[in-house]
Amino acid sequence: MPAPDRPGGGRGPARGGRGPARDGRGPARDGRAPARERLRRADPARTVAYDVLRQVSEHDAYANLVLPGALRRAGLEGRDAAFATELTYGTLRQQGLYDAVLARVVDRPLDRLDAATRDALRLGVHQLLGMRVPDHAAVAATVALVRQSVGTGASGLVNAVLRRVAERDLDGWLAEVVDDADPDTALATRLSHPRWVVRALRQALVAHGRAGEETPDLLAADNEPAAVSLLARPGLLDPADLVAGGAAPGRWSPWAVTLPAGDPGRLPQVRTAHARVQDEGSQLVALALAAVPLDPPADGPERWLDLCAGPGGKSSLLSALAHRDGHAGVSVEVSPHRAELVRQAVAGADERWEVRTGDGRTLGEEEPAAYDRVLVDAPCTGLGALRRRPEARWRRTTADLAALAPLQRELLASGLAAARPGGVVAYVTCSPHLAETRLVVEDVVRRSARAGVEADVLDAGAALAAGAGAEVPDARAGDFVQLWPHVHGTDGMFLALLRRR
Ligand SMILES: C[S@@+](CC[C@H](N)C(=O)[O-])C[C@H]1O[C@@H](n2cnc3c(N)ncnc32)[C@H](O)[C@@H]1O
């Protein structure tokens, strides 16, 4: 995949073909106020984007959770919804680069600006440098937004700053902001990631057998909008039905389809929980666990366990497979709210699938050697899924790695203890970080053996191929699997498979 080294170089909505209100030059075809005058008022798409940005920065909201509701409430659909989405996600992803530009123009440190004004400035810069919105429309519409939301004083500042930004194009600003920076800082600024993340991802690439030179491609993939993948739950829905409705078949998972556009929440199959939005990488790792050959248990159906299951994506797939094939299972989730989401996710396949609110760390002790297949999809930094969570890269810190390390180890050790001899455990993260993947597995295998719970590392690549129905090229990292956004077009899922002796 080529590495576009600029925002908006990819698939963001273009200006061309939009209605007259987009660029402020069109005639008033519909009896409304002239376009130029309309730009004096904030338009709905920009208002939605700005409101979501405010919720993200003021209330630590997640843009991907807040935006769909905001679009629906504003009645935005089609191209307008796509425009609002690109405004929101692009602004959040490129925040590091845009702040570097703004720092050259604003007459005080950015953190001394009122947060509402700073969010508006970032939104304006994205239109100027990351989208093909004409300068005058980007400035006028953003100023209108600020006048309406913050006040006249702030709108003067925003007007002056955005006009200065508009004096150069993106290449001009890129040259300026990375001018005398060291290579890592330059890469971090150019592709808008924190510097520690750039280093961690390069280290992860190398640790999983790839070249450090791929780092710019990986960072660029984080800046591209991810396709909307759906899971058609096995036994409940044939993916061909979704394809007949206009979706494209998935690239890797036999149960995946890709939606061209639109709100998946409106699909009847999603409403009935027969289909679910789920990245193909997530589907593949769950399918791999289900595909590991196993001696059948002597005393009845297989028992499956999803040890940290919220919000239920992989439980929805595992429960459907288990239901189809006559197995039984349990999902455990510590957060009551997320456990409720898991209950909804397993609906339709829940006859012999129980959902519990509880602490997965103690389950291995409470039910030792009780399960045939165990999924430990551990809480992690999510560094492999940055393209879907546009603000996550700015929230995560190295302190999170240290904080998550004990929890990841305790959950895996508990999952291993809950597996019966001959049973199999999948350790999964949506982060390729070495400290959350290989180091956790190696550490827990060693420590568990000392406690009398021995396990062998299985060939996860073979299981992935069995689950997908074909080899997934470039997925193997020794005995482990590491998927990559820039290689596979999936989230960066890690998978290790362990068989208990
Ligand atoms: C990475 S998410 C799992 C994603 C899930 N497998 C899916 O596909 O939707 C990790 C989950 O573990 C939960 N969790 C954290 N600590 C836990 C614990 N001690 N026991 C059980 N669940 C826990 C978190 O609340 C979170 O929902």
222 domain residue, yes or no: no
- 17 falls in which pLDDT band (50, 70, 90)? very low
Ligand 1 atom at shortest distance from the alpha carbon of 312 = 9
Which CATH number do you get for residue 475? Answer: 3.40.50.150
Is residue 492 a contact partner of residue 383, using CB atoms and an 8 Å limit? yes
Binding residues for S-adenosyl-L-methionine are: 308-314, 333, 359, 377
Ligand 1 atom at shortest distance from the alpha carbon of 375 = 6
Is residue 92 a contact partner of residue 386, using CB atoms and an 8 Å limit? no
Among 381, 383, 398, CA closest to 485: 383
Domain containing 112: what range? 20-171
Instruction: Quote the CA–CA distance of 200 and 384 in Å, as a whole number.
Output: 11
80 domain residue, yes or no: yes
51 domain residue, yes or no: yes
Quick count: other Cβ atoms within 10 Å of Cβ 300? 10
Q: Are residues 286 and 365 in the same domain?
A: yes
Q: How far is the CA of 215 from the centre of ligand 1 (A)?
A: 29
Residues with CB under 6 A from ligand 1: 282, 308-314, 332-335, 338, 359-361, 377, 379, 407
206 domain residue, yes or no: no
What was the pLDDT predicted at 41?
72
365 domain residue, yes or no: yes
- 153 falls in which pLDDT band (50, 70, 90)? confident
316 domain residue, yes or no: yes
Q: What is the pLDDT of residues 239-275, one digit of tens each?
A: 999 999 999 999 999 999 999 877 788 899 999 999 9
Q: Are residues 265 and 409 in the same domain?
A: no
Dihedral of CA 29/30/33/37: which sign? Answer: negative
Gyration radius of the chain's alpha carbons: 24
Tally the domains of the chain.
3
Q: Are residues 305 and 263 in the same domain?
A: no
Among 4, 33, 20, 205, CA closest to 97: 4
Binding residues are: 308-314, 333, 359, 377
Domain-ending residue, one of 129, 154, 171: 171
The backbone region for 24, taken as left when phi is positive above 0, alpha when psi lies in -120 to 50, beta otherwise, is: left
Dihedral of CA 22/28/31/32: which sign? Answer: positive
Domain-ending residue, one of 171, 195, 213: 171
Give, for ligand 1, the residue of 62, 279, 317, 334 to mutate: max count of ligand atoms closer than 8 Å to Cβ. 334
Q: Are residues 410 and 285 in the same domain?
A: yes
Average pLDDT over residues 345-373: 97
- 40 falls in which pLDDT band (50, 70, 90)? low
7 domain residue, yes or no: no
Q: Are residues 254 and 383 in the same domain?
A: no
- 299 falls in which pLDDT band (50, 70, 90)? confident
Q: Are residues 455 and 474 in the same domain?
A: yes
Q: Are residues 254 and 346 in the same domain?
A: no
Residues catalogued as catalytic: 430
Dihedrals phi, psi of 491, to nearest 5 degrees = -65, 160
Q: Are residues 349 and 267 in the same domain?
A: no
Quick count: other Cβ atoms within 10 Å of Cβ 124? 29
Among 236, 350, 238, 374, CA closest to 294: 374
Q: Are residues 287 and 404 in the same domain?
A: yes
Quick check: 19 pLDDT over 80? no
Q: Are residues 292 and 366 in the same domain?
A: yes
Q: Are residues 44 and 142 in the same domain?
A: yes
1 domain residue, yes or no: no
Q: Are residues 239 and 327 in the same domain?
A: no
Which CATH number do you get for residue 50? Answer: 1.10.940.10
Domain-ending residue, one of 254, 277, 300: 277
Give, for ligand 1, the residue of 279, 285, 289, 333 to mutate: max count of ligand atoms closer than 8 Å to Cβ. 333
